C-alpha cells in the first residue's frame, strides 16, 4: 500500500450521493491522504483512509470492517483506525501519487518539527497498514456485503456496487 491523492472534484461528486465518503481537506493545517490500492474491480481502484484515533475507539473491538493501528514503538498507543466499510472505488485516472516532498502543497505546518512529526506519523501508519494484509481483508468485506447482505457488518458498509456505477458515470 502507498499514500495517494484523490481528485477532490470526484470526492465531491461521490459525497453528493453518499455522505460517508471521507474528506481529505479539513482546512489549511489538516490533510489526510488515502491509501491503496486495496484491490481492483475492472478499471476502478478501491481506496480508503485512516481516521484519527478517538477515545471511543479504545473500547471498540476490531472487526471485519474496523481495524486499529497501534504505534509499533508504544504498542498500547492507538494512533489511528481504518474503517473499511467506507472504502470506495475510484477511476484510476482520478488518483495521483502522494509525495512527501510536496507535503507543503497539501497543508500548512506551524514549524518544520510539526511537519516532520506528521511525515513520521504517515510513515508509521503505512508500515502498520502494510503488515495487516488489509487488501485481502477489504476484498473479503466486499464479498461479504453481497454474499450476506443481512449480516450486521454488511449493513454498515457503503453500497460498493452502487459506488462503482457512480464512478463509471463520472468518467462519462
Sign of the Cα pseudo-torsion (120, 76, 49, 28, in order) = negative
Q: How many domains, the chain? A: 1
CA dihedral 132, 135, 141, 146 (to 10 degrees): -170
Q: From its phi and psi, is residue 41 left (phi > 0), alpha (psi between -120 and 50) or beta?
A: beta
Residue 137, burial from CB neighbour count under 10 angstroms (0-12, 13-18, 19+):
middle
pLDDT at residue 33, rounded to an integer: 87
Alpha helix positions (H), the chain? 8-15, 112-131, 134-147, 152-156, 160-171
Helix (H) or strand (E) holding 62: none
- Whole-angstrom distance between the N-terminal and C-terminal Cα of the chain? 28
Q: Which domain holds residue 75?
A: 2-171
Say yes or no to pLDDT of 148 above 70: yes
Cβ contact 84:48 at 8 Å: yes
Q: How far apart are CA 160 and CA 158, in angstroms?
A: 6
pLDDT at residue 27, rounded to an integer: 63
Which tens digits make up the pLDDT trace of 63-119? 999 999 999 999 999 999 999 999 999 999 999 999 989 888 888 889 999 999 999
Sign of the Cα pseudo-torsion (120, 125, 128, 131, in order) = negative
Which tens digits make up the pLDDT trace of 31-68? 788 998 999 999 999 999 998 899 999 999 999 999 99
Name the DSSP letter for residue 107: -
CATH number, domain with residue 6? 3.10.129.130
In which order are the strands placed within the sheet that holds 88-91? 88-91, 44-48, 34-41, 2-6, 95-97
Say yes or no to pLDDT of 15 above 90: yes
Amino acid at each position: 500500500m502507498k499514500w495517494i491523492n484523490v481528485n477532490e472534484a470526484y470526492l465531491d461528486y461521490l459525497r453528493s450521493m453518499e455522505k460517508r465518503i471521507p474528506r481529505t481537506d479539513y482546512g489549511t493545517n489538516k490533510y489526510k491522504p488515502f491509501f491503496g490500492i486495496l484491490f481492483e474491480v475492472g478499471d476502478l481502484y478501491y481506496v480508503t483512509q485512516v481516521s484519527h484515533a478517538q477515545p471511543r475507539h479504545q473500547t471498540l473491538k476490531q472487526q471485519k470492517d474496523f481495524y486499529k493501528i497501534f504505534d509499533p514503538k508504544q504498542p498500547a498507543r492507538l494512533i489511528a483506525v481504518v474503517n473499511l466499510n467506507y472504502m470506495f472505488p475510484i477511476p484510476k485516472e482520478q488518483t495521483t501519487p502522494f509525495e512527501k516532498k510536496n507535503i507543503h502543497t497539501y497543508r500548512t505546518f506551524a514549524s518544520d518539527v510539526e511537519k516532520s512529526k506528521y511525515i513520521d506519523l504517515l510513515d508509521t501508519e503505512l508500515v502498520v497498514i502494510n503488515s495487516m494484509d488489509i487488501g485481502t481483508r477489504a476484498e473479503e468485506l466486499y464479498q461479504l456485503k453481497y454474499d450476506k447482505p443481512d449480516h450486521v457488518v454488511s449493513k454498515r458498509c457503503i453500497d460498493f456496487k452502487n459506488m462503482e456505477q457512480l464512478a463509471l458515470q463520472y468518467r462519462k
